[in-house]
């Protein structure tokens, strides 16, 4: 006999006025690590909306809670562009904000901001941004060269790979395989300092967090 499905517990009440909404576990862990690096982890609260298809419903329900209405003064949304033009991804987020009533006419007003990974300009995802930082970091030149050699070999051998920009996920895993910790996801790797936080590739995202 099938037992009744137990509903998930309600989310913990919001406690901080600045709210960062992210797409999935990897960005959630990554952002937690970066906010700690910036000393902003006690100022910005992170909530995971899982996938872009869930975002509008998630936001409408969240904005209707008493805790949101009483506590939140600023909402930032972070999502991947993936293969879409950044303008399309941004408009999707903007439409969800409007549907949730988070517009300039709202009383009291709530500030909203959007960051589309990797850089608010190009298609890609959080792994794209991380690999840009690795490629531009002089101290990581040896491991980056090995990653490039590996993928060049696959191409020469006609090994099928995902297309751009999704292949960044594969490349990130190869980069992380060069470290002593095993089977790390990119978000967990952020806790271990595997992404070079001081690299200029992260500057736009840092500014987004500071200005939230």
Q: What local confidence, expressed as pLDDT, does residue 2 receive?
A: 57
- Structure tokens that stand for 126 in this block: 């959080």
First to last CA, the chain: 50
Q: What local confidence, expressed as pLDDT, does residue 11 receive?
A: 67
Give 24's contacts (C-beta < 8 A, 6+ positions apart). Answer: 48, 50, 51
Residue 44 sits in which domain range?
18-124+204-210
- Domain contains 58: yes
Q: What local confidence, expressed as pLDDT, does residue 10 receive?
A: 62
Structural domains in the chain (count) = 2
Instruction: Examine the domain organization and report whether 68 and 151 are in the same domain.
Output: no
* Whole-number Å distance between alpha carbons of 40 and 78: 16
Cα dist from 43 to 38, 71, 99, whole Å: 11, 12, 26
Q: Chunk the chain into consecutive blocks of 10 residues (it has 212) and report each block's average pLDDT, rounded to whole numbers.
A: 59 90 96 98 96 94 94 97 94 97 90 97 97 97 97 96 94 95 92 96 98 98
Give 87's contacts (C-beta < 8 A, 6+ positions apart). Answer: none
Instruction: Examine the domain organization and report whether 135 and 158 are in the same domain.
Output: yes
The model's pTM: 0.91
Q: What local confidence, expressed as pLDDT, does residue 13 receive?
A: 83
Instruction: Examine the domain organization and report whether 53 and 105 are in the same domain.
Output: yes
- Domain contains 197: no
Instruction: Examine the domain organization and report whether 46 and 104 are in the same domain.
Output: yes
Instruction: Examine the domain organization and report whether 179 and 131 are in the same domain.
Output: yes
Task: Please state whether the peptide bond connecting residue 108 to the residue before it is cis, i.e. omega within 30 degrees of 0.
Answer: yes
- Domain contains 155: yes
- Domain contains 141: yes
- Structure tokens that stand for 59 in this block: 């936001």
């Amino acid at each position: 006999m099938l037992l009744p499905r137990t509903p998930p517990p309600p989310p913990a009440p919001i406690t901080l006025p600045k709210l960062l909404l992210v797409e999935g576990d990897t960005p959630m862990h990554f952002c937690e690590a970066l906010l700690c690096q910036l000393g902003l982890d006690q100022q910005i609260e992170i909530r995971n909306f899982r996938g872009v298809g869930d975002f509008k419903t998630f936001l409408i329900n969240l904005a209707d809670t008493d805790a949101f209405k009483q506590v939140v003064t600023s909402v930032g949304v972070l999502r991947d562009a993936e293969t879409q033009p950044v303008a399309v991804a941004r408009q999707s987020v903007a439409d969800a904000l409007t549907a949730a009533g988070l517009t300039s006419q709202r009383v009291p007003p709530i500030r909203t901001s959007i960051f589309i990974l990797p850089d608010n300009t190009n298609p890609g995802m959080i792994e794209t941004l991380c690999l840009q930082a690795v490629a531009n970091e002089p101290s990581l030149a040896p491991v980056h060269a090995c990653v490039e050699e590996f993928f060049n070999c696959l191409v020469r051998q006609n090994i099928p790979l995902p297309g751009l920009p999704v292949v960044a996920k594969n490349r990130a895993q190869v980069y992380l395989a060069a470290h002593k910790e095993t089977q790390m996801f990119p978000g967990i790797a952020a806790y271990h300092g595997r992404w070079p936080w001081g690299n200029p590739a992260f500057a736009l995202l840092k500014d987004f967090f500071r200005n939230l």
